[in-house]
Protein backbone atom coordinates (compact mmCIF):
# COMPACT_ATOMS: atom_id res chain seq x y z
CA UNK A 1 0.00 0.00 0.00
CA UNK A 2 1.33 3.39 -0.95
CA UNK A 3 1.07 6.17 1.62
CA UNK A 4 -0.45 9.43 0.46
CA UNK A 5 -0.14 13.00 1.70
CA UNK A 6 -2.82 12.71 4.38
CA UNK A 7 -1.26 9.62 5.91
CA UNK A 8 2.18 11.26 6.11
CA UNK A 9 0.58 14.31 7.71
CA UNK A 10 -1.29 12.17 10.27
CA UNK A 11 1.88 10.22 11.13
CA UNK A 12 3.78 13.50 11.54
CA UNK A 13 1.19 14.88 13.97
CA UNK A 14 1.22 11.64 16.01
CA UNK A 15 5.04 11.61 16.24
CA UNK A 16 5.19 15.25 17.31
CA UNK A 17 2.56 14.68 20.01
CA UNK A 18 4.28 11.53 21.31
CA UNK A 19 7.59 13.43 21.32
CA UNK A 20 6.02 16.22 23.35
CA UNK A 21 4.64 13.63 25.76
CA UNK A 22 8.12 12.13 26.25
CA UNK A 23 9.56 15.61 26.85
CA UNK A 24 6.87 16.49 29.42
CA UNK A 25 7.05 13.30 31.53
CA UNK A 26 10.15 12.14 33.39
CA UNK A 27 9.11 8.56 34.15
CA UNK A 28 6.26 6.14 33.56
CA UNK A 29 5.25 3.78 36.38
CA UNK A 30 3.63 0.57 35.17
CA UNK A 31 1.03 -1.25 37.22
CA UNK A 32 1.99 -4.51 38.88
CA UNK A 33 -0.21 -6.43 36.40
CA UNK A 34 1.54 -4.82 33.44
CA UNK A 35 4.94 -5.41 35.01
CA UNK A 36 4.07 -9.08 35.52
CA UNK A 37 2.78 -9.37 31.94
CA UNK A 38 6.00 -7.93 30.51
CA UNK A 39 8.15 -10.07 32.79
CA UNK A 40 6.38 -13.23 31.67
CA UNK A 41 6.87 -12.30 28.03
CA UNK A 42 10.56 -11.63 28.65
CA UNK A 43 11.00 -14.96 30.53
CA UNK A 44 11.57 -13.33 33.92
CA UNK A 45 8.11 -13.89 35.40
CA UNK A 46 8.88 -15.80 38.59
CA UNK A 47 11.01 -13.14 40.27
CA UNK A 48 8.69 -10.21 39.53
CA UNK A 49 5.37 -11.91 40.27
CA UNK A 50 6.51 -12.95 43.74
CA UNK A 51 7.59 -9.44 44.76
CA UNK A 52 4.70 -7.52 43.19
CA UNK A 53 6.97 -4.64 42.25
CA UNK A 54 6.05 -1.93 39.76
CA UNK A 55 8.39 -1.21 36.90
CA UNK A 56 9.50 2.38 36.28
CA UNK A 57 10.35 3.34 32.71
CA UNK A 58 12.54 6.40 32.23
CA UNK A 59 12.88 7.27 28.55
CA UNK A 60 16.14 8.99 27.58
CA UNK A 61 15.91 12.78 27.15
CA UNK A 62 16.88 12.61 23.47
CA UNK A 63 13.92 10.38 22.56
CA UNK A 64 11.36 13.20 22.68
CA UNK A 65 13.54 15.44 20.52
CA UNK A 66 14.11 12.61 18.07
CA UNK A 67 10.40 11.89 17.66
CA UNK A 68 9.56 15.57 17.26
CA UNK A 69 12.31 15.97 14.65
CA UNK A 70 11.13 13.01 12.61
CA UNK A 71 7.57 14.31 12.89
CA UNK A 72 8.64 17.74 11.62
CA UNK A 73 10.44 16.20 8.64
CA UNK A 74 7.39 14.10 7.79
CA UNK A 75 5.17 17.19 8.16
CA UNK A 76 7.20 19.17 5.64
CA UNK A 77 7.43 16.13 3.36
CA UNK A 78 3.65 15.84 3.40
CA UNK A 79 3.34 19.48 2.39
CA UNK A 80 5.68 18.92 -0.57
CA UNK A 81 3.65 15.98 -1.89
CA UNK A 82 0.82 16.36 -4.37
CA UNK A 83 -2.72 16.30 -3.06
CA UNK A 84 -4.57 12.96 -3.27
CA UNK A 85 -7.16 12.66 -6.02
Q: What is the pLDDT of residues 34-43, one digit of tens each?
A: 888 888 888 7
Smallest CA-to-CA distance from 16 within 51, 62, 66, 52 is with: 66
Please give, one letter per residue, the 3-state secondary structure of 60-74. CHHHHHHHHHHHHHH
Residue 23's pLDDT is: 95
Domain-embedded: residue 44: yes
Residue 67's pLDDT is: 97
Residue 47's pLDDT is: 53
- Is residue 11 within 8 A of residue 73, CB to CB? The reply is no
Listed in sequence order, the residues at least 6 apart from 71 whose beta carbon sits closer than 8 Å to its beta carbon are 11, 12, 13, 14, 15, 16, 19
Query: Could you tell me the residue range of the domain that residue 49 belongs to?
Result: 5-80
Domain-embedded: residue 85: no
Residue 52's pLDDT is: 65
When divided into structural domains, the chain yields a total of 1
Amino acid sequence: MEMNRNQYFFLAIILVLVGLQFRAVDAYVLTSDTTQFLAERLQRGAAVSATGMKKVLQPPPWLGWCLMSVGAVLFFHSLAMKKPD
